[in-house]
Structure 1
Amino acid sequence: MRNVDRALSEIEYEALANLRYRIRKFRQFSGKAAEKLGLTRQQQHQALLAIKGLGVGGRMSLSGLAEKLLLSPAEAAELAASLQEAGHVTIDAKQKRRPAVMLTAQAEELLRRLTPAHLYEIREMAPELMQALRMLQDHRQMEMAAWMQ
């Protein structure tokens, strides 16, 4: 049973603050790295990665892109249009109801240059992220064990 009204412990506040700090730090790193390669908005890199994450020959619908990036359909369409204008994606509008967004060779090259640095950064911060998550999980498990007794 979840008790959302109970007061958070100091450990939970510390763990949550640390987790949020690490996430902000990674987002700042990611934004700067993408900017260095000419991506003007952090969402551009995230969109390219979401499309690439579909696997070989991935075709991302605009609605799928909106869902993956937590955007409105209009925002996703605007983002895709900016990526197309920059030469990073093509938009196959043959299917009017579900236009597909696909990466260009230029986008593939950008991802090849950005991804190793991102993986390195994630691997460097992984122990701290896992520790913060463990602190939150362990505290919850102790709470559940106490509740069961």
Structure 2
Amino acid sequence: MTTDKVTPLTKQDFEALSTFRYQLRKFLRFSEEAAQNNGVTPQQYLLLLHVKGSPGREWATIGELAERLQSQHHSVVALVSRCEKLLLVKRRASEIDRRQVNVYLLPAGERCLATLAGLHHNELNTLSDTFRIPNINAKQS
């Protein structure tokens, strides 16, 4: 527990949080099943997504991927190795800092990601109203 002051919540706040968590879990379950149905693990899909979603470039570093995945560096190295074996990604030493490894998508990774991201985009569109949560600290009128 944190020592920060906690604002008391109303019954409506708890209902909103409960609904949000339920819908979030439904989306995550959808995501897990979509990835598995397309021949990759949920973590492999997320790795592909974060490589492609790297701001301003077409690659990501292992460190950036570890942060985005909220995972340990060595775990991401192993995940990248598994994706390399599936020919989804390739890694290359940085030309600027040879200690840094950059991860790029390969054509099979691009195709897999395009399929899965399209499915996820459609699913998110069906949930768009659910993910608009009222400010629980706003005064109720």
State the TM-score, normalized to the length of structure 1.
0.83
* Residue in 2 that maps onto 1:60: 60
The number of residue pairs the alignment matches comes to 136
Structure 1 counterpart of 2:123: 121
Larger Rg: 1
Secondary structure of 1:91's counterpart equals strand
1:38 alignment counterpart: 39
* Aligned counterparts of 1:141 and 1:5: Cα–Cα separation in 2: 14
Question: Percent identical across equivalent pairs?
Answer: 26
* Structure with more helix by fraction: 1
Alignment of structure 1 residues 33-112 onto 2, 5 Å: 33-39=34-40, 41-54=41-54, 57-93=57-93, 95-112=97-114
Q: Kindly provide the CA deviation profile for residues 54-83 of structure 1, in whole angstroms up to 9, marking residues without a partner as x.
A: 267512100010011111111111111111
Q: Which runs of 5+ in 2 are unaligned?
A: none
Which residue in the other structure is 2:17 paired with? 16
Counterpart code for 2:137: R
Deviations 1:32-67 (A, max 9, x none): 11111110x211101101111126751210001001
> Structure 1: any 5+ residue segments left out of the alignment?
none
Q: Which amino acid in 2 is paired with 1:27?
A: L
Pair 1:142-2:105 in alignment = no
Q: TM-score, normalised by structure 2?
A: 0.87
CA-based RMSD of the aligned residues comes to 2.0
CA distance in 2, matches of 1:9, 1:37: 42
